[in-house]
Each structure stands twice: as structure tokens, then as C-alpha cells.
């Protein structure tokens, strides 16, 4: 029987049930982010779950409440990846068939891992919403039991078990930051948190290019975005859930949006300071830390997942280094005569710059004796070091101009 409301009894039941399959993701105190924000920041590393994301909680709890007949008909869902793996894993535990419809844009690692758990994968559409429509169509055709990734109160109850763990471990937490795609995780966490302690503020975080809940809350009704555009593929949702929307209206204290550029920098911060891989959607809360208008508060940031393919990772790292002025490209014009390249190299070497790549364009000008262009891609320690190198090149008469970095 479908759950019709979120209750403390159900949250307590779910908290016990999910322990069968979840890792114990203890809070991690972050010295780096605490120092950066002036708050005491604790990270909830759901990227360390067996399927690489929190979604195992809601999927497993939902499937545990189904009848044997509902399970044996086969399960179907739509997902950009993490819910897919949660359903596939839980279906394998219960020994039933799982069909997962995923957007064609889903990172390969999520597709392959879902198949590895024994699920049948159907790739369809560009975004989650397209895949969901296809999944509902297949469910009707084949009699499968549909497991909604977020607009389901039982699934949201499973996700809310995270709040139980946070509050037990850090009873005096002031803020809990939670990523938002369709809103299931935020529904579970915000509703249970307010039941346990109404004084705790729960802040939702969305990508700026997929802020469907923020728009819906402003309009006072569930609203569909015309399109979404974000590197946070796990939260690229056009429309929040209808069933869960009233809970979000009631229990969320605010919604913050962050840009893709902020996510890129947050990825680099997480790798360098915590040696952890967290996917872009999971980094929404980390990127939002500096948007909080408070100090000396205890803040828990839920890092929802860590399923990121290596190619995406490589691109994010490179763009993060560029955004942090750790890599930059400078263009200088030189007379085409022996010794000029050595002279430029010496200036850079004296300032401890590290040359990564050189591009020598002899055809920049028709008068090669007057000028050839040298594009130098450099590694620096950060913004101040970059400024020092540029100033040294200027003092040496090279008139450096910053250029687009193409690694």
C-alpha cells in the first residue's frame, strides 16, 4: 500500500531497514572549509555508499515495502544514474528483475555500473524528464512496478534517514545543506529534521541552470523549466515532484543556486583537501557554503554522490586549475632572432613559473623580423604568483597578453 504521508514512525522504521545495505557514513569535520567560511563545517560523505550515492537508501526502503507479487512483476525506474544503481542493487538483493531508463547523456560509468548490478538499461532522451516518460510507457506496456526516483513519499522517507544520522551524531547542528534535483532527498531530510528539531535550518541547493524548485517555490506551484543546462547531471531536472512539493514548501528554509564554475572549483578543493571524488551534483552543498550568511555555526553539507567518469573528472580538474589561476596562457611578441626564446624562458624560470606548452607562430606578422608570436601555457601557484610572472614579463619588455588556455 502506498505511503500517503511522512511520519516519524516511518522514518524510524526506514532508519533500521536501510542499515542492511548502507555504509556508516560518519560526518567528516573539514578544517579547510571551516577556515574558509568561518563556520564549523561537517561533510556527510554519501559518495562512500556501496553504489556511490545516497539513492540506495530510498530505493531499498521502497522495495522492502512492496509485496512479493509487486517485486516479481519486475521493477522499472528512470534515472540519470544514482537512483538507477540504487534500484538495480536493491533489486539484486531481493532477486527481482530491474529495467532502468537513463538519459542518453548519462556518464558511461553510471550506465556500466547499473548493468553490472544486473539491470537491463534502456537509453532514451536527453534529460531525466524524457527518460521518465519512457519508463512510465514501458511500465504500462509490461506491467512493471514503477519506482519513482523522487516523487514518492516512501522513497523520500528512505532518503530522510540521512537526517536521523546527522542529528544523532551532531545534535547541535545549526544548518543542513542538501542538494536538489527533483526534491526527494530534500523532502526526506527537511521533513525529518523539522520533526526532530524545528530550530535547525535546512537549505536546499540547486544548479543555477536547473533551478526548478526555486522557480516553483517563487510561483507557489510546481513549475516546469523550458530547459536545463548544468554539468551537475544528477540534478538536471526540469520539474520537481508534485507529491513532495507541499513538504518542501513547509520545511525548507531557503534555496541557494550555484553556478557550474563554482562546482568546478569545489571539485578541486575536495580532491586537494579531502582526497575525495565527489560528483558535480554532490558538490552543490560544498559550493554553497560561501553563500551562507552566518558565522560560528555548525553546518552539515550532504555530499550526495561520487559517481563521476574519468573523462569528466579530467575536464573538471583542468578547468578548475584554470579557474584558480594555477594554469594560464600568455601571448608575447618577439623579434624572430636567436636567443629571444631563452630570454623569455629565463624571466619565467626566475619567477618559478613552470612551462607546460609552447606555441611558436612565425606567421603572426608579414614582417617576421618585427614580430613572431609565442604562446606560453604556464603552471603557477595561484593568482598572486600569476601576477608576479606577468609583471616580470612586462618589466622585461615583452608586453604580455593573456590568451585562452587550450590544454
pLDDT of 189-199, one tens digit each?
A: 999 999 999 99
- Other CB atoms closer than 10 Å to residue 15's CB: what's the count? 22
Distances in Å between the Cα of 279 and the Cα atoms of 53, 108, 304, 314 are 10, 14, 8, 12
Q: Are strands 175-179 and 201-207 parallel, antiparallel or unpaired?
A: parallel
User: Is residue 16 within 8 Å of residue 57, measured between CB atoms?
Assistant: no
Same fold, 8-54+153-320 and 56-146: yes
Distances (CA, A) of 394 to 336, 347, 362, 405: 19, 10, 21, 20
Query: In b/e form, how buried is each residue of 281-296, taking b as 16+ CB within 10 angstroms?
Result: bbbbbbbbbeebeeee
Residue written as grid cell 530522510: 160
Angle, vertex CA 260, rays to CA 257 and CA 266, nearest 5: 90
- Report the C-alpha gap between 267 and 283 in whole angstroms: 7
Number of H helices, E strands in the chain: 17, 14
Rg of the chain taking only CA atoms, in angstroms = 25
Task: Kindly list the strands in the beta sheet with 254-258, ordered across the sheet, starting from the edge strand earlier in the chain.
Answer: 28-29, 40-45, 298-303, 175-179, 201-207, 254-258
C-alpha cell at 338: 636567436
* Spatial contact of 402 and 378, defined as CB atoms under 8 Å apart: no
Residues 107-160: pLDDT tens digits? Answer: 787 888 899 999 999 999 988 889 999 999 999 999 999 999 999 999 999 999
pTM for the full model? 0.87
Q: Which fold has domain 8-54+153-320?
A: Rossmann fold (3.40.50)
Name the burial class of residue 367, with classes exposed (0-12), middle (13-18) and buried (19+) by CB atoms within 10 angstroms of its CB.
exposed
Q: Describe the crossing of helices 8-17 and 161-169 by its angle, rounded to 10 degrees.
A: 90
Instruction: Report d(CA 222, CA 199) in Å as an integer.
Output: 26
CATH number for the 325-403 domain, one of 3.40.47.10, 3.30.70.260, 1.10.10.10, 3.40.50.1000?
Answer: 3.30.70.260
User: What is the pairing mode between strands 40-45 and 28-29?
Assistant: antiparallel
The CATH number of the structural domain formed by 56-146 is: 3.40.50.1100
Average pLDDT score, the chain: 93
d(CA 397, CA 371): 13
Is 55 considered catalytic here?
yes
pLDDT tens by residue, the chain, 407 residues:
677 899 999 999 999 999 999 999 999 999 999 999 999 999 999 999 999 999 999 999 999 999 999 999 999 999 877 899 999 999 999 999 999 999 898 878 788 889 999 999 999 998 888 999 999 999 999 999 999 999 999 999 999 999 999 999 999 999 999 999 999 999 999 999 999 999 999 999 999 999 999 999 999 999 999 999 999 988 988 999 999 999 999 999 999 999 999 999 999 999 999 999 999 999 999 999 999 999 999 999 999 999 888 888 888 888 889 988 999 999 998 887 788 888 899 999 999 999 999 887 765 555 555 578 889 999 999 999 999 999 999 999 888 999 988 87
Dihedral sign for Cα 19, 21, 23, 26, please. negative
Question: Which alpha helices (H) appear in 73-205, and where do they start and end?
Answer: 82-94, 108-116, 128-142, 153-159, 161-169, 184-196
- End-to-end CA distance of the chain, in Å? 55
Is the separation of the CB atoms in 10 and 18 below 8 Å? no
Question: Grid coordinates in use for 149?
Answer: 526516483
How many angstroms separate the Cα of 175 from the Cα of each of 13, 270, 285, 339? 25, 20, 11, 60
β-partners of residue 354 are 379
Strands 120-123 vs 145-146: parallel, antiparallel or unpaired = unpaired
Are the C-beta atoms of 30 and 41 separated by less than 8 Å? yes
Q: Which of 10, 40, 44, 55 is catalytic?
A: 55
Give the residue among 71, 137, 73 at the shortest CA–CA distance from 101.
Answer: 137
Residue extents of the structural domains in the chain: 8-54+153-320, 56-146, 325-403
Rounded (5°) CA angle 126-131-135? 165
Q: Pick the catalytic residue: 40, 304, 331, 386?
A: 304
Amino acid at each position: 500500500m502506498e505511503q500517503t504521508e511522512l511520519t516519524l514512525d516511518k522514518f524510524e522504521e526506514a532508519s533500521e531497514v536501510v542499515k542492511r545495505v548502507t555504509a556508516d557514513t560518519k560526518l567528516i569535520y573539514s578544517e579547510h572549509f571551516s577556515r574558509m567560511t568561518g563556520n564549523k563545517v561537517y561533510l556527510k560523505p554519501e559518495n562512500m555508499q556501496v553504489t556511490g550515492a545516497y539513492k540506495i537508501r530510498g530505493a531499498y526502503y521502497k522495495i522492502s515495502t512492496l509485496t512479493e507479487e509487486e517485486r516479481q512483476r519486475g521493477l522499472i525506474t528512470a534515472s540519470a544514474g544514482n537512483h538507477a544503481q540504487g534500484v538495480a542493487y536493491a533489486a539484486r538483493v531481493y532477486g527481482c528483475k530491474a529495467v532502468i531508463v537513463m538519459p542518453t547523456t548519462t556518464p558511461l560509468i553510471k550506465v556500466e555500473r547499473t548493468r553490472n548490478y544486473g539491470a537491463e538499461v534502456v537509453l532514451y532522451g536527453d534529460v531525466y524528464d524524457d527518460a521518465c516518460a519512457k519508463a512510465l510507457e514501458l511500465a504500462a506496456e509490461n506491467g512493471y512496478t514503477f519506482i519513482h526516483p523522487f516523487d514518492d513519499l516512501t522513497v523520500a522517507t528512505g532518503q530522510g534517514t540521512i537526517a536521523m544520522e546527522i542529528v544523532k551524531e551532531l545534535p547541535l547542528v545549526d544548518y543542513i545543506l542538501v542538494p536538489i534535483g527533483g526534491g526527494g532527498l530534500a523532502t526526506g531530510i527537511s521533513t525529518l529534521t523539522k520533526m526532530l528539531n524545528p530550530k535547525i535550518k535546512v537549505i536546499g541547493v540547486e544548479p543555477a541552470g536547473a533551478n526548478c524548485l526555486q522557480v516553483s517555490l517563487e510561483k507557489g506551484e510546481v513549475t516546469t523549466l523550458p530547459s536545463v543546462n548544468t554539468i551537475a547531471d544528477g540534478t538536471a531536472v526540469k520539474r520537481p515532484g508534485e507529491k513532495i512539493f507541499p513538504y518542501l514548501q513547509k520545511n525548507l528554509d531557503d534555496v541557494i543556486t550555484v553556478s557550474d564554475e563554482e562546482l568546478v572549483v569545489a571539485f578541486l578543493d575536495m580532491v586537494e583537501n579531502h582526497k575525495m571524488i565527489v560528483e558535480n551534483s554532490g558538490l552543490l552543498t560544498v559550493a554553497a557554503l560561501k553563500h551562507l550568511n552566518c558565522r560560528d555555526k555548525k553546518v552539515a553539507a550532504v555530499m550526495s554522490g561520487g559517481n563521476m567518469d574519468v573523462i569528466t573528472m579530467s575536464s573538471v580538474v583542468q578547468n578548475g586549475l584554470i579557474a584558480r589561476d594555477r594554469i594560464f596562457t600568455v601571448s608575447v611578441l618577439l623579434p624572430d632572432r636567436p636567443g629571444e626564446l631563452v630570454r623569455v624562458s629565463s624571466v619565467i624560470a626566475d619567477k618559478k613559473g613552470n612551462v607546460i606548452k609552447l606555441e611558436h607562430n612565425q606567421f603572426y606578422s608579414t614582417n617576421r623580423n618585427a614580430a613572431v608570436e609565442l604562446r606560453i601555457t604556464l603552471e603557477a601557484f595561484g593568482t598572486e604568483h600569476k601576477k608576479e610572472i606577468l609583471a616580470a614579463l612586462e618589466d622585461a619588455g615583452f608586453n604580455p597578453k593573456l590568451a585562452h588556455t587550450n590544454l
